[in-house]
Amino acid sequence: MRFADRTVVVTGASRGLGRHLAIAFAREGAFVGIGYRVRGEDAESTLALCREAGGDGALLAFDVADRAAVNDALARFGENRGGIDVLVNNAGINRDDFFAIGAPTDWDTVVDVNLTGTYNCSRAVVGGMLARRRGSIVNVASVAALRSSIGQTAYASSKAGVIGFSRALARELAGKGVRVNAVVPGFIDSGMAARLDWSRKKQATDAIPIGRFGTPEDVAAAVLFLASDDARYVLGHALVVDGGLSL
């Protein structure tokens, strides 16, 4: 019960990896703020599963790319809970396309959600964490930041930015009671990767030394470690969870 009496926010938690992260925190006693943008029914299902796992939570509806909405939602949630102990910036999207023909608006959208959204949510909680001299931020990046893939210039750039942001912010907050780290998943059998067609899944699996896609639980174990006091001496780290894909 590493997170008993702790308040955790997970963005993009209505489904996929985010849902599994929220449940994993709840299982260890956390009160989880379930961030989502439009999938209200899915978010309700995540909340129900968190309660079944032994924790509790509340729904937080906001677009991570909307700075004013982020500030309002997280300020109100933090006030109601007496502060936010852990933030997991998990919300993310991709708009894969060839660079020469891809729409510039797709670039803007991907960067706004994946990178600026990480900035917005972190900025909204870091003041309170500094005031209490306690807090942990874990940012979900991607192996795409480390291993090139055709059609992913926007996605790879945004996730590489998340890693750089995590390291720089960790250095800035070092010694102030707030730790920042990143987790770098590879192909995970949930969310974006789960929607690949059979041939692309086969090709991806063949490239993974361990011979399988990861599970959400594989990533959750890494996120919970980085967020917990077990990692009290770990900061600015990008923990790769990819079955050896980036080797």
Cβ atoms 166, 181 nearer than 8 A: yes
Average pLDDT of the residues in 56-81: 98
> Is 119 part of the annotated catalytic residue set?
no
pLDDT digits 0-9 by tens, 116-139: 999 999 999 999 999 999 999 999
Which residues, in sequence order, are CB contacts of 199 under 8 Å at separation 6+?
A: none
pLDDT digits 0-9 by tens, 1-41: 999 999 999 999 999 999 999 999 999 999 999 999 999 99
Question: How does DSSP assign 68-108, residue by residue?
Answer: HHHHHHHHHHHHHHT---EEEE---------TTTS-HHHHH
* Dmax (CA) of the chain: 51
> Which residue in 36, 119, 155, 233 is the catalytic one?
155
- Give Cα separations from 167 to 48, 186, 187 (angstroms): 35, 19, 23
For the chain, list the domains and their CATH numbers. Answer: 7-241 (3.40.50.720)
CA–CA gap between residue 11 and residue 22 (Å, rounded)? 9
CA 36, chain centre distance (Å): 12
Name the average pLDDT for the chain. 95
Question: How many of the other CB atoms lie within 10 Å of CB of 134?
Answer: 17
